Structures are given as structure tokens and as C-alpha cells.
Amino acid sequence: MTEFTTRRRVEFADTDQGGIMHFSRYFVFMETAEHLFLESLGTSVALELDGHRIGWPRVSATCDYRRPARFGETIEIRVRVRRKGEKSVTYDFTFTRGGEELATGQMVSVCCVLDAPEGLRAIPIPEAVARRLDGP
């Protein structure tokens, strides 16, 4: 299965008064890692399809925190496709700092038309994207 790793530093605005990265920010880190992963495959998180805006709202997001991340530290975020469904993708994430595991996460993103009359509508993953998620 396809795998991708990105790195970023913990910013001051990511921290809270506990002196560590706020737990909600890991989800932003995961989302952006997912987007960079899709880009690395030659696709994107914000597509147009037949004049409709396509996006990937999450139906599920989880994070397990083992060690805190602190301001200024460089974190590696590894993305892996755990499961590719007809309309959704399940991603595994691993946060490490210099090889030491900080946290693991999981997200399920569903391919949706964002401007459907009823609001969001799940659709089958466009084939060009689905093929890329299978990896080389």
C-alpha cells in the first residue's frame, strides 16, 4: 500500500498553556499530511468534477497520544492507506520525533460532492484517484 511521510515543526500557536502541542492540532497535522499525500499521487483534495466541487469530509478521526510534542520540535508524520473503500479511504498516521513515536491516528475520509442540493453527498471515488491510491 502507498505510504508517504512529511515533516513539520510545532508552532507557538499549536501549543497550549500546558506547555505542549494542543491535542486538537494533531488532527490538522493529519489532514494536511493527507493532502500532501494526495498531491504526491498527482491528485488533490479539492477537485472539480462535472462542475461540482468534490471534497473529502471525515466521518471518523482518532488520535492516541503517547508523548507530548513541544514548540519548535520537528515532527515526522507518516500517512498510510489502510483501506480503500468504494466511497471512502481509511488512513493510518504515525507521529514521530527523531524516530520516537509520539502519537498514532486514523481518519476515514469520504469522497463527497460538496454542493449537492441536499448538502454533502457521498460518491464513488473517481477512478483516476482510486487507481492512484492503490500505489504503484
Cα–Cα distance measured from residue 133 to residue 37, given in angstroms and rounded to the nearest whole number: 10
Cα–Cα distance measured from residue 114 to residue 57, given in angstroms and rounded to the nearest whole number: 9
Q: How far is the CB of 55 from a second copy (least distance, A)?
A: 5
Identity of the residue, 38 or 134, whose beta carbon is nearer to a second copy in the bound complex? 38
Q: How far is the CB of 85 from a second copy (least distance, A)?
A: 16
Cα–Cα distance measured from residue 82 to residue 98, given in angstroms and rounded to the nearest whole number: 24
Cα–Cα distance measured from residue 101 to residue 118, given in angstroms and rounded to the nearest whole number: 42
Q: Is 105 exposed, middle or buried (0-12, 13-18, 19+ CB in 10 A)?
A: buried
Q: How far is the CB of 121 from a second copy (least distance, A)?
A: 12
Identity of the residue, 60 or 134, whose beta carbon is nearer to a second copy in the bound complex? 60
- Residues in contact with a second copy by CB under 8 A are 11-13, 15-20, 22-25, 27-28, 31-32, 35, 44-46, 55, 57-66, 68, 71-72, 114, 119-120
Cell numbers describing residue 62: 482518532
Identity of the residue, 120 or 128, whose beta carbon is nearer to a second copy in the bound complex? 120
Q: How far is the CB of 19 from a second copy (least distance, A)?
A: 5
